[in-house]
Amino acid sequence: MRKKIPFLVPLTMLALAIPATAQNALTVTIPGGTAIADEPFEVQIGGGSDGSGIVRLITAYGGTSRPFELAGGSAVIELSTDVAGTATVVAQLGTDSALAHVEVSPAADLRVESTTVAPERAHVGPGELTLLAFVADRFGNPASDQTPVELSIRYPDGSVERVEVGSEFGLAVGVLPVGGLEGTGEASATLGQTAAGASIQFYPAEPVPFSFEATGLVPPADGRSRLSVTTADLVDRLGNPIPDGTSVVVVVEHEDQRRDLIPAVVTARRLTVSILAPNRPERLVVSTVLLGRRSDPLVIEFGVQ
């Protein structure tokens, strides 16, 4: 029986069997794997054969490239980008290449870019306002999640409601009450020493019940005389006066179904219009709708003098 003899491979042959790339593979290392927008970060390139290569920095909005020189199997260079997010560094030397990723944070100079409020016009009383602020660095990179932002509303009487929220994808969203005073207020967002605001108009709530009253004796139905009718002071259910300049259309209904439409505006907190007497005896009904509230009808009897 023949004895099995082990097959011995010379060490020189074994060395030749290892691919060259296994011992000369190019590598890219970014210490810490993080960076800050517009601040240089270190890139370490190793392995490979000495020579000149190209390194590329690729971001969500494009890329840049620069040469590097590998000497003694290593090279250290600095790169920077003003685009936050995940960036990729690719080094290429001849036919060999390697890459690494770096997480770029927004620059430190965060600020409130804009503030909006919805609705921009609100009727006072129970209800909520939604404030939204966009927070970014000077390059427009959204702030990191959970960046604290103060949202506030200054009401017409100068009082202020505040809430602090954490941003998400650069947006800070909060909810605050409408309040009970009519007039002009301001919604704002504050981060550090920066702020941005938006105007908000608070309108009265639905008026309390109201009606017109004649200010004098009813004239005869002569088709020429006029009768002035007016309301008492107009207020909403929270006691806020209805603002001067609020417009309405006063409707005068005739017995034959005809309607006269008279434009009017609140002046000195009241509505006042002049009614033309009909040219024959009849009953007229005067009414209007103010901020959703229909007035009680005023019935006027025009007769023969």
Q: Residue 73: inside a domain, yes or no?
A: yes
If asked whether residues 239 and 298 sit together in one domain, one would say: yes
pTM of the model: 0.68
Range of the domain at 171: 111-203
The domain total for the chain is: 3
Q: Residue 208: inside a domain, yes or no?
A: no
Q: Residue 6: inside a domain, yes or no?
A: no
Q: Which residues pair with 74 in a beta bridge?
A: 46, 71
**Distance between CA atoms of residues 142 and 66, nearest Å:** 28
pLDDT tens across the length of the chain (305 residues): 333 233 333 333 323 233 333 445 899 999 999 999 999 999 999 987 889 999 999 999 999 999 999 998 899 999 999 999 999 999 999 899 999 999 999 999 999 999 999 999 888 888 899 999 999 999 999 999 999 999 999 999 999 999 999 999 999 999 999 988 888 999 999 999 999 999 999 988 889 999 999 999 999 999 999 999 999 999 988 888 998 999 999 999 999 999 999 999 999 999 999 999 999 999 999 999 998 899 999 999 998 76
Of 105, 127, 146, the residue at which a domain comes to its end is 105
| 22, containing H or E segment | helix 20-24
* Residue 108 φ/ψ region, left for φ over 0, alpha for ψ in the -120 to 50 degree band, beta for the rest: alpha
Q: Residue 147: inside a domain, yes or no?
A: yes
Q: Residue 2: inside a domain, yes or no?
A: no
User: CATH number of the domain that 99 lies in?
Assistant: 2.60.40.10
Q: Residue 99: inside a domain, yes or no?
A: yes
**Distance between CA atoms of residues 277 and 252, nearest Å:** 11
User: CATH number of the domain that 265 lies in?
Assistant: 2.60.40.1930
